[in-house]
Amino acid sequence: MSGVRARGEDIRRYILENVEKSPTTISKVAAERFGVSRQAINKHLQRLTEEGALIESGNTRARAYKIAPLSQWTKHYLMGPGLDEHHAWEEVKPHLGVLPDNVMNIWHTGFTEMFNNAIEHSQGRTITVDVQKTAVDSKVVILDDGVGIFEKIKTEMNLEDAHHAVLELAKGKLTTDPKNHSGEGIFFTSRMFDSFAIHSRGVSYSHDFGDRYDWIEEARENKGTAVFLELDNHTSRTARAVYDLYSSVDGGFNKTLVPVRLAKRGNDQLVSRSQAKRLLARVERFDIVLLDFKDVPDIGQGFADEIFRVFQQEHPGIELVPIETNPAIDRMIAHVLHGGDPPSNPQQSLPLAE
């Protein structure tokens, strides 16, 4: 009997995890997945609807399902001396409900980091927090009406534009207030959650767990900064495992992955030494730097020479590791290092497990 119960739980969890992708065909999709009749799946759909986990709409032929929110809560906070992230967290926590300790710890870590950033750096007047929990996952949005995170970084660090600010964020250890902050909060928070995104003034910076790459895209124009956090309610992930992934044996944050494509502007090719210097800014703070060449078709001699010969000679203690290269990039790296000889052990797809 326990096997039947376990199979039923597997079916219901599959439905909840996939209904957003197949709202009108979930019965057919789940029936094919588990090799049972659609009538059997419909019983599970009915149970989930009665329990309040799903919302049903439409008639028999055009019936659709969607995840029902188990909890929704929004609050507006006024900036002021009495506002702090721990007070806000104590108000948010009840609306996340009962979650495993490791999941709640990720939420505690990520929420307080992002809320504190809004308090100390946004220069805004209000912070709005929106919480939504379903049977599958929880989502939190932290929105401020300040100057905008990318604009703040660009101005404080004298960078070229918002895209350059995103490149620096992607490396980690970035802060406009080094006296009071390590610059690690956004980097590690972006790695802990299933989905992490920052939208600010028409630019979006995002990272999805399991994807090694950060993304920068155009977004809807908005004032201030909006941070989006999403996490499975039953993930086995821990905050400690994410810290350890980028840390040395003594606990230091010593490894970073730099998406080389973020150094590009529009249709520009990566050919100049100034582009290379921008890419390498602040990486001397790390011991291991993975240079990710995914989606980069080719590089110029000056760009490659500045990275793999000039910078490496000036920083012999830093390990530069090119990954996701192609033959054209390998040849250019070999050219600047060995006068054209092929690299002895080209790193084409060194994984950084997440």
In a domain, 189, yes or no: yes
Say if residue 77 is in the same domain as residue 51: no
Structure tokens at 104: 């709640």
What is the DSSP code (8-state) at residue 253?
Answer: B
Residue for token digits 């920068």?
Answer: 216
Whether residue 30 sits in one domain with residue 62: yes
**Domain-embedded: residue 344:** no
Instruction: Give the Å distances, CA to CA, from 197 to 40, 46, 170, 213, 228.
Output: 38, 34, 12, 13, 5
Q: Give the residue from 181, 211, 242 where a domain finishes.
A: 242
Degrees to nearest 5, angle at CA 190 with 145 and 73 = 50
Kindly state the tokens that stand for 217. Answer: 């895209």
Is 281 or 326 the better-scoring residue by pLDDT? Answer: 326
Q: Out of 38-47, 171-180, 302-311, which region has the weakest mean confidence (pLDDT)?
A: 171-180
Mean pLDDT score, 248-269: 72
Burial class (CB in 10 A: 0-12, 13-18, 19+), 326: middle
49 and 198, same domain (yes or no): no
Let me know whether 164 and 227 are in one domain: yes
Residues 91 and 129 in one domain: yes
19 and 87 part of one domain: no
Question: Has residue 353 got a pLDDT over 70?
Answer: no
Mean pLDDT of 100-104: 94
Average pLDDT in the chain:
83
User: How many folded domains does the chain comprise?
Assistant: 3
Q: How far is CA 30 from the centre of its chain?
A: 29
Whether 104 and 60 map to the same domain: the answer is no
Q: What is the pLDDT of residue 354?
A: 39
pLDDT at 342: 45
The confidence score (pLDDT) of residue 187 equals 78
* Alpha-helical runs (H) found in 122-256: 149-156, 162-171, 185-192, 239-245
- Shared domain for 134 and 228, answered yes or no, is yes
Q: What is the DSSP letter of 68?
A: P
Distance CA 185, CA 181 (A): 8
pLDDT at 20: 87
Choice between 187 and 68, residue whose per-residue pLDDT is larger: 68
Residue where a domain stops, chosen among 242, 262, 290:
242
Q: Is the pLDDT of residue 136 over 80?
A: yes
Any domain includes 353: no
Q: Which of 31-40, 242-251, 331-340 has the highest mean pLDDT?
A: 31-40
Read off the pLDDT of residues 153-180 as tens digits, 9 standing for 90 and up: 888 777 777 777 777 777 665 554 555 5
Q: Using 50, 70 and 90 to split pLDDT, how confident is the model at 181?
A: very low
Q: Is residue 173 part of a domain?
A: yes
Domain that holds residue 43: 2-67
The pLDDT confidence band at residue 249, using thresholds 50, 70 and 90, is very low
In this predicted structure, the answer to whether residue 107 has a pLDDT above a threshold of 90 is yes
Residues 286, 176: one domain?
no
User: pLDDT tier at 36 (50, 70, 90 boundaries)?
Assistant: very high
Whether 59 and 75 map to the same domain: the answer is no
242, 268, 294 — which closes off a domain? 242
CA angle 33/37/38 to nearest 5° reads 85
Same domain? For 138 and 207 the reply is yes
Note whether 263 and 292 are same-domain residues: yes
